[in-house]
Amino acid sequence: MSLLRTESLAISVGGWYVCSNLNFRLEPGQHWGILGGNGIGKTTLLLTLAGLRPPAAGKVYIEETPLAAIRRRDLSRKLGVLFQDSHDIFPGSVMETVLIGRHPWLPVWSFEGEEDYALALAALRDVAMETMAHRQVNTLSGGERRRLALATLLLQDPRIWLLDEPTNHLDLKHQINLMGLIRSRVDEAQGGLVMVLHDVNLITRFCSHVILMQDHETMLSGPVGEVVTQETLERLYRHPIRQVNAEGRSLYFPA
């Protein structure tokens, strides 16, 4: 059974279509990356898959149930979203913020208990922020806020992960560590991952499948090893690409 699938999905923005007949399946164990130029509709596609934006036509299914028919609380146990940027709507500490990830799992009108705090601290430890639990969120750097958002998603523990540029604001070490952590957690849950990235080499390293959004309504998708080539990337970005082979991997750079 597919974790997520679309049926004849059409997405419209300002009179033009991001896609008009998208039939997509996310199967357990798959890690999909989305590549494309600025303004092509990558975030819009991700938000539509998450049920946060209505499609122009077609349907999205979560484990064969129409997404529109799933209660939000139930959906948040199955599906987690990481937005492109984090915004501090309310003041609070790092611990108070990460505990938001437990809310879908708590009984209605209940407060967090010792187990919830222990799980929250473990999530912070996974992103190297356990010593910051009592810091105010508005004192964090951009990279620290990004790690906090990822810790919140770890605590939410969904099977379906939809991530919009998860490496935003992260230094090189944290990019690699957290991408590996995300992939491990998805695999442990027999889940699936769809993420927007701008780094081709992170896609080839951490994803099994890829969608290339070449222009409005034109997509190329499939296994990374078949889809990502020097030729397809040059068409995608309309810029010369240099391919370098190192330690059995192909790396791609702008020429």
The answer to whether residue 237 is domain-embedded is no
Structure-block tokens of residue 170: 């992260």
The answer to whether residue 234 is domain-embedded is no
Residue 62 dihedral angles phi and psi, to the nearest 5°: -115, 115
* Residue 154, CA atoms < 13 Å, CB-side half-sphere: 25
The answer to whether residue 243 is domain-embedded is no
Give me the number of domains the chain comprises. Answer: 1
The answer to whether residue 247 is domain-embedded is no
Domain of residue 42, residue span:
4-229
Burial 29-56 (b: 16+ CB within 10 A, else e): ebbbbbbbeeebbbbbbbbbbbbeeebe
Radius of gyration of the chain (CA): 19
Which residues are paired to 214 by β-bridges? none
- Residue 96's contacts (CB-CB under 8 Å, 6 or more residues apart) are none
pLDDT number for residue 110: 82
The answer to whether residue 218 is domain-embedded is yes
Structure-block tokens of residue 137: 């969120």
The answer to whether residue 248 is domain-embedded is no
> For residue 25, what is the domain's CATH number?
3.40.50.300
How does pLDDT run across 65-96, given as a tens digit for each residue?
Answer: 999 999 999 999 999 999 998 776 678 999 99
Burial of 7 (0-12, 13-18, 19+ CB in 10 A): middle
Residue 143 dihedral angles phi and psi, to the nearest 5°: -65, -40
Enumerate residue ranges in the chain where pLDDT < 70.
Answer: 88-89, 216-217
pLDDT number for residue 112: 86
The answer to whether residue 13 is domain-embedded is yes
The predicted model scores a pTM of 0.94
**Residue 184 is which amino acid?**
S
